[in-house]
Amino acid sequence: MAKILDKQRYRCAMAAMQSVQAIDRAIPVLHSGPGCAQKLANSSGSSGYFSPNIFPCTSINEKDVVFGGVNKLRTTIENALKVIDADLYVVMTGCIPEIVGDNTEEIVEEFADAEKPVIYASTAGFKGNNYKGHEQVVDAIIEGLLEKSDEKTDGLVNIWADVPYQNEFWLGNLRELEKLVAELGLIPNTIFGYGRGIENIYKIPKAQFNLLVSPWVGLKNVKKMEKKLGIPYLHYPTLPIGAFETSKFLRTVGEFAGVDKNKVERLIEEKEKYYYYYIERFADLFLETRVMSKQFSVVSDAQYALGITKFLVNDVGLFPARQFIVDDTPREFRKSIKEYFEELNYGIKAEAVFETDGYKIHEEIKKHDYTGYPLILGSYWEKAVAEETNGHFLSVSWPCNERLIMNSFYVGYDGGLKLIEDIYSVAKTRFN
């Protein structure tokens, strides 16, 4: 039976047009109704080289539903190639053309010899949300652009992490992951953000391995690349935030890549000294702050909920109440993700709850006794429940309506310091 979903945290699969938009000089070509494209464009929160308002779209109507929209799709692709200066064109489908049976893939194949690459991603909304849509876009790149290469670049590592634009800190996090990998003496390769684009896409088959930093999003992609392209992968499920997890991350990646252990340990020693220098400077503030409960809840996707929970327990010494995962995680991954939340210091375990209904999440938060002012990290939707519970609130996940995030990040040693700054900046407002 259908139900109302309150405060939804994701959109349909075609919203993965944002993943295309995040690739420098790539543009989505949408085969959908005009309402779909406009609604998703209005929620993207970005412009860039190609604004969502100019994405080519077939804008199919009732006539196309009856007679098919493939001719309109063909002319839309032809005209996009003529008038839009892009390096990559990704045709994406909405629900209507897939329901009525338009053979989109066959039309895209007609452009196999076009001057610029044209590929196809099946992103009908009924197939899943934009996390799944992101995987479909990466899958389209694997199938449409990449071939197995016998030529390998020693030390080259493809990095896959946040879903672009769905996480406000996606670009800063990705760049910091690049820096961490580079400091190990490896060569990071990513395809999202400024200066990456099509050139880096074609480097993918030459990598020594794929590094996936995510609890579940992208796991099917790296497995496909292992099978098709012969690229092994390292799955690191936790976004490394702060000293404890980042040091663990560096050791794991270094061991997998065959980096000298002494070099890794010297790097970690240097980074931790730097990190704890700043922690010690404000130790009295952290120890004497009585205006914040030691308990917290995170309301976010699996990626951020897990990373922040581990950081707040392992680095900051807080205790987890229930943690709410709102990305509609596929059931096949939920057991392993729950286990990740139990891998905390001092035998502490966090209970992860998979829930997409904001009303139910807020009721759970209001019922829990945080023994003081709770710390709630979530989206704009959690601001109201934080006020009701007299809690401290920090907006860290989508929708993030009251912060502008351009290149900030929470990944790594510096990212952990930034997150502590943000949390205690909120707590200090009660001092006055």
Peptide bond before residue 399 is cis, with ω within 30 degrees of 0: yes
Longest CA span, the chain: 71
Q: How far apart are CA 415 and CA 318, in angstroms?
A: 18
The pair phi, psi for residue 144, each rounded to 5°, is -95, -20
Helix (H/G/I), strand (E/B), else coil: 73: helix
* Tens digits of pLDDT across the chain (432 residues): 455 667 788 888 989 999 999 999 999 999 988 877 777 765 545 666 777 778 898 888 777 666 667 889 999 999 999 999 999 999 999 888 888 888 899 999 999 999 999 999 999 888 889 999 999 999 999 999 999 999 999 999 999 998 998 888 999 999 999 999 999 999 999 999 998 999 999 999 999 999 999 999 999 999 999 999 999 999 999 999 999 999 999 999 999 999 999 999 999 999 999 999 999 998 888 777 766 778 999 999 999 999 999 999 999 999 999 999 999 999 999 999 999 999 999 899 999 999 999 999 999 999 999 888 899 999 999 999 999 999 999 999 988 888 888 889 999 999 999 999 999 988 877 655
pLDDT value for 270: 97
Domains of the chain, start order? 13-145 (3.40.50.1980), 156-271 (3.40.50.1980), 278-431 (3.40.50.1980)
CB distance 389 to 366 below 8 Å:
yes
Q: How far apart are CA 331 and CA 324, in angstroms?
A: 15
The CA radius of gyration of the chain, in Å to the nearest whole number, is 22
pLDDT value for 64: 62
3-state helix, strand, coil in the chain (%, to 5): 50, 15, 35
pLDDT value for 53: 74
> Tell me, what amino acid is at 295?
Q
pLDDT value for 1: 43
Residue 264's nearest CA partner among 273, 252, 275 is 252
pLDDT value for 328: 94
pLDDT value for 41: 65
Q: How far is CA 94 from the centre of its chain?
A: 22
CB distance 73 to 106 below 8 Å:
no
Q: Give the DSSP letter string of 172-203.
A: HHHHHHHHHHHHTT-EEE--SBTT-HHHHHTT
> Tell me, what amino acid is at 15?
A
* Predicted model pTM: 0.93
End-to-end CA distance of the chain: 50
Helix (H/G/I), strand (E/B), else coil: 93: strand
